[in-house]
Amino acid sequence: MAMDNGTMEVRDVVIVGAGAAGSWAAWRAAGEGVEDVLLLEKTPRLGTKILASGGTRCNLTTTLGPDEAADLFGTSGGRFLRRAFRILPPQKLREYFHELGVPTLAAPLEKVFPQSGQAKDVRDALLNAVHMTGVEMRLDTQVVSIVPVTDASHSWRVELAGGGTIGVKRLVLATGGQSYAGTGTTGDGYPWLRKLGLGFVEPAPALAPIKSDEKWVHELSGNSLQDVELRLVNAKGKELGRRRRPLLFTHAGVSGPGAMDLSGIIARTKQDGGAAKIAGWCLRADLLPDVSREELREVLIAVAALPGAPLLVKGIPIVLAQRFPLLELPSKRILHEVFAEAGLSARSGHQALTKSARHDLIEAFKGLQIPVSGTLGYDKAEVTSGGLALRAVDPGTCRVRGQEELWVIGELLDVDGPIGGLNFQSAFATGEACALDLAQSSST
Ligand SMILES: Cc1cc2nc3c(=O)[nH]c(=O)nc-3n(C[C@H](O)[C@H](O)[C@H](O)COP(=O)(O)OP(=O)(O)OC[C@H]3O[C@@H](n4cnc5c(N)ncnc54)[C@H](O)[C@@H]3O)c2cc1C
């Protein structure tokens, strides 16, 4: 540690935020030979969000290849992250964790978890790696502002809550977003970036449960389906997003990966334009994505020939199960709503299936309408969309263009991906790109 004029502490590399991105950048930079790395964290522990992640199992990356994974971040996010994901592909990330004593295993929907099923193992491995590589970590240390300095032995002055100041030669910001504020992420980095006049995309909550004001939706609370294709459509019927993932009905609306993946579009539009902007929006849920309309039509015709002429609510599951034995059938409660949407009732028999009723029932199965009115916001959002505009950052190093010795990594960047280990992949990979650049610039 050096002192400036004998008074101020001056450090080579300071990383602000010991979450996924900051911890990864710290241990990898130190592991690659950067000698003086100081990691500052405002909460009492490293990796608080890692501990809470994936239902405390931590879905730490994906089985997808680097380009496929990056493409899930949308056009600009995908283009940007391709570089970092090629530097640290998901498979290589798994190998690193294996070396750190955390073997991983693949799970359905391209997810990857620690073999132990414990998020704590991922967090502890990073904590050990940080210690083993000689990184100095200061917990309970909140940065309150960053100030560029000129004509000095350092490029930045970092001011701490309580009055301390550190001179920094190379500064890495990894303060995350502003969702789940209890984990330490309260959007602290945003005013710093705005003040520097860097391109900035206003934050909005993403990966949150979706609200619906419909009573029937609330009444289905607890019902779920593992394989639903959800389409988010506006009042004119235009499709705004599509995702095939599990769906869960809740007392407030719908949740589960499919709904949460689409929630960011709703939150951002409502935030930018007010509630009127999302009036008439709904999710259209295809409850039987592997059954075509024609196959469903044949199922409905076959119901009429069943012995004993059971009610539709009994007959349809019988024929579906005969023809598609592996299919997960909607619960009776969900079926009632499908019937209601088609103008039928739980008591309807096959005589009710006129040609037009059959058409309406097929459409209800293939696109049950769930009106939406917003999302549960930052309190329940797994990530924050928005942040430092990607054009301000070099994608191969995460170095901020036009700024002396400044890097921004992780969720503080304007990147957010769907559920499935992609957001950790993004945090770790941008951390890696930054770490290698720090090592490279140390040696030149
Ligand atoms: C409940 C939940 C479950 C999740 N599950 C998954 C999952 O299974 N898979 C997945 O890929 N993603 C998951 N995510 C998303 C993932 O956790 C984040 O995308 C990821 O942690 C972002 O990493 P980061 O390092 O950029 O930010 P964070 O991990 O949020 O870390 C930022 C750190 O900076 C610190 N900090 C903030 N301001 C300051 C300051 N002023 N001074 C000092 N320190 C500061 C914070 O305390 C925090 O420790 C989940 C998120 C939540 C909330």
Question: What digits encode the pLDDT tens for the residues 95-115?
Answer: 999 999 999 999 999 999 999
Distance CA(234)–CA(311), nearest Å, equals 35
Instruction: Give the 3-state secondary structure of residue 320.
Output: helix
Residues 6+ apart with CB under 8 A from 325: none
Q: What's the pLDDT tens digit per position in 263-290?
A: 999 999 999 999 999 999 999 999 999 9
Summarize the confidence of residues 26-45 as an average pLDDT. 97
Query: What atom of ligand 1 comes closest to residue 141's alpha carbon?
Result: 43
Q: Where do the structural domains in the chain lie, given as residue ranges?
A: 2-204+384-443, 209-376
Residue 20 Cβ < 6 Å to ligand 1 = yes
Residue 427 Cβ < 6 Å to ligand 1 = yes
179 pLDDT higher than 80: yes
CA dihedral 173, 137, 183, 200 (to 10 degrees): 0
Residue 416 Cβ < 6 Å to ligand 1 = no
**Above pLDDT 90, what percent of the chain?**
92
Residue type, 137: M
Distance CA(213)–CA(334), nearest Å, equals 17
C-alpha of residue 20 to centroid of ligand 1, in Å: 6
Instruction: Judge residue 391's burial from the number of C-beta atoms within 10 Å of its C-beta, 0-12 exposed, 13-18 middle, 19 or more buried.
Output: exposed
Residue 410 Cβ < 6 Å to ligand 1 = yes
CA dihedral 222, 369, 385, 115 (to 10 degrees): 40
In this predicted structure, what is the pLDDT of residue 120? 98
C-alpha of residue 51 to centroid of ligand 1, in Å: 10
In this predicted structure, what is the pLDDT of residue 444? 67
Query: What atom of ligand 1 comes closest to residue 176's alpha carbon?
Result: 27
Mean pLDDT over the full length of the chain: 95
Closest to 398 in 3D by CA, of 170, 202, 145, 178: 170
C-alpha of residue 283 to centroid of ligand 1, in Å: 29
Q: Which pairs from 337-346 meet CB under 8 Å and 24+ separation?
A: 337/216, 337/220, 337/368, 338/287, 338/364, 338/365, 338/368, 339/312, 339/313, 339/364, 340/216, 341/368, 341/369, 344/312, 346/311, 346/313
In this predicted structure, what is the pLDDT of residue 275? 93
Q: Are strands 104-107 and 61-62 parallel, antiparallel or unpaired?
A: unpaired
CATH number of 2-204+384-443: 3.50.50.60
Largest Cα span, the chain: 94
In this predicted structure, what is the pLDDT of residue 350? 85
Least confident of 351-360, 390-399, 428-437: 351-360
Distance CA(409)–CA(240), nearest Å, equals 28
Distance CA(413)–CA(391), nearest Å, equals 10
- Contact of 56 with 119, CB cutoff 8 Å: yes
6 pLDDT higher than 90: no
Token pair belonging to 165: 């100041």
- Contact of 61 with 90, CB cutoff 8 Å: yes
Res. 153 pLDDT band, cuts 50 70 90: confident
Res. 4 pLDDT band, cuts 50 70 90: low
In this predicted structure, what is the pLDDT of residue 151? 72
Query: What atom of ligand 1 comes closest to residue 410's alpha carbon?
Result: 26
In this predicted structure, what is the pLDDT of residue 3? 62
If you take atom 20 of ligand 1, which residue's CA is the nearest one?
Answer: 424
